[in-house]
């Protein structure tokens, strides 16, 4: 496939802080359009998990990057396979989220995973979510969205998600954790979380997932000529 052909494949890039709802919105938009879906955060979660399983210190950038380079993974509609094991639940824990943020701060790790993410751009199109989808991975995306919500709203959502999975969670602690992660993601040297000038802002603090999906689909129809 030539570079020109690849660049013509439409991409909807949705960035935003953790627990903003971007994953839910991105998946539903992808389904509605018949596009492929990429959860970029899963790659960082998988890298951190694989490193831990191999007894590697998550502060060792060189070794963690090597783990990222050798990841043996498969994505399916309802599960994620790492080295032949279903790790769908393991990578969705709060500790997995925190560890993903840690390894994502390493420039070498980000460089390794950049090309793996770009390989997901195949016809008929791609909807992806993360923190640098529009700024670094797909800067030529036809539609860029920065999806956010207040830290209080995000903490409440995350707390409810954790409790639904049978985990204990205290709202005040989750608020503190989200603020810490927001600061780390926004201030890291490589690919910091930020809204681009050409990205639409979508605040989901007081709107439903249905409304958010509808808004993104409306923007898509206006900006992607093939729709």
Residue 82 has φ and ψ, to the nearest 5°, of: -120, 120
Q: What is the CATH topology of the domain spanning 10-213?
A: Rossmann fold (3.40.50)
pLDDT along the chain (227 residues), means of 10: 71 95 94 94 95 96 96 85 93 87 92 93 96 94 97 93 83 92 86 93 96 98 88
Burial of 147 (C-beta count, 10 Å sphere; 0-12/13-18/19+): buried
pLDDT of residue 1: 42
Using the structure block, give the residue that is written with the tokens 């920065």: 146
pLDDT of residue 4: 45
- Give me the DSSP letters along the chain: --HHHHHHS-EEEEE--TTSSHHHHHHHHHHHHT-EEEEHHHHHHHHHHHHHHTT--TT-HHHHHHHHHT--EEE-SS-EEETTEE-TTGGGSHHHHHHHHHHHT-HHHHHHHHHHHHTT--TT-EEEEESSIIIII-TT-SEEEEEE--HHHHHHHHHHHHHHTT----HHHHHHHHHHHHHHHHH-SSS-----TTSEEEE-TTS-HHHHHHHHHHHHHHH-TT-
Q: Which of 107, 117, 128, 119 is nearest to 39 (CA)?
A: 128
Provide the Cα torsion 29, 38, 180, 198; round to 10°: -60
Pairing status of strand 85-86 against strand 80-82? antiparallel
Within a 10 A sphere around the Cβ of 37, how many other Cβ atoms? 20
Structure token pair of residue 147: 């999806």
Burial of 23 (C-beta count, 10 Å sphere; 0-12/13-18/19+): buried
Structure token pair of residue 178: 């989200």
Count of all residues that appear for the chain in the document: 227
pLDDT of residue 167: 78
- Sequence ranges of the domains in the chain: 10-213
């Amino acid at each position: 496939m030539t570079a020109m052909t690849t660049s013509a494949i439409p991409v909807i890039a949705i960035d935003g802080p953790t627990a903003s709802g971007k994953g839910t919105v991105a998946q539903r938009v992808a389904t509605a359009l018949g596009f492929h879906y990429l959860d970029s955060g899963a790659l960082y979660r998988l890298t951190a998990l694989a490193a831990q399983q191999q007894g590697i210190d998550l502060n060792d950038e060189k070794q963690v990057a090597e783990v990222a380079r050798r990841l043996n993974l498969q994505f399916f509609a309802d599960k994620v396979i790492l080295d032949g094991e279903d790790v769908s639940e393991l990578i969705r824990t709060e500790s997995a989220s925190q560890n993903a943020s840690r390894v994502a701060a390493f420039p070498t790790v980000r460089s390794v995973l950049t090309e793996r993410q770009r390989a997901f751009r195949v016809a008929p199109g791609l909807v992806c979510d993360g923190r640098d989808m529009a700024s670094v991975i797909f800067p030529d995306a036809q539609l860029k969205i920065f999806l956010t919500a207040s830290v209080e709203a995000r903490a409440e959502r995350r707390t409810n998600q954790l409790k639904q999975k049978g985990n204990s969670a205290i709202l005040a602690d989750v608020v503190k954790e989200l603020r810490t992660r927001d600061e780390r993601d926004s201030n890291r040297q490589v690919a910091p979380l930020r809204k681009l000038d050409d990205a639409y802002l979508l605040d989901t603090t007081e709107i439903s997932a249905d409304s958010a999906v509808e808004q993104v689909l409306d923007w898509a129809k206006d900006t992607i000529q093939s729709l």
